[in-house]
Amino acid sequence: MKSDEGVDKLPYYAGPPKPLVVRLEGDGFQREVLEKLARLEAKMDMLVGGSQPGRVKILEDRVATLEKNDVRRSVYDRLLNAGIALIVSALIAMHDHLGFSR
């Protein structure tokens, strides 16, 4: 009996080994990948900026300015609310003395 007679009957035997790397004919794939890479690089340069500030830097500056204005506005709003609350509390406390009673 030969040693490879039962090899055809084994479920995992698939014949001679196949190559793991498949070569593509032509350079169309490489050209497509390089074009996509160039577009990606252009978009990154536009966002981050090269020698001049990019859109991300401009956006960060605008957000920082808005945060400063928001903090300043919230302080003014709190002072205004405290003043209104003080006036209303004083009017309620002194309503008998000011002639608002029935």
Q: Is residue 8 part of a domain?
A: no
Arithmetic mean of pLDDT, 8-36: 69
Dihedral of the alpha carbons of 34, 40, 44, 50, in degrees to the nearest 10 = 30
Q: Is residue 4 part of a domain?
A: no
Q: Is residue 41 part of a domain?
A: yes
Q: Is residue 7 part of a domain?
A: no
pLDDT tens for residues 40-99?
Answer: 988 887 777 666 667 777 888 888 888 888 877 888 888 999 999 999 999 888 887 777
Q: Work out how many domains the chain is built from and give that number.
A: 1
Q: Is residue 80 part of a domain?
A: yes
Q: Is residue 69 part of a domain?
A: yes
Instruction: Tell which wins on pLDDT, 24 or 27.
Output: 27
Task: Give the structural domain span for 87.
Answer: 26-93
Residue 1: pLDDT band with limits 50, 70, 90: very low
Q: Is residue 72 part of a domain?
A: yes
Q: Is residue 18 part of a domain?
A: no
Look up residue 94 and give its two tokens: 């002194």
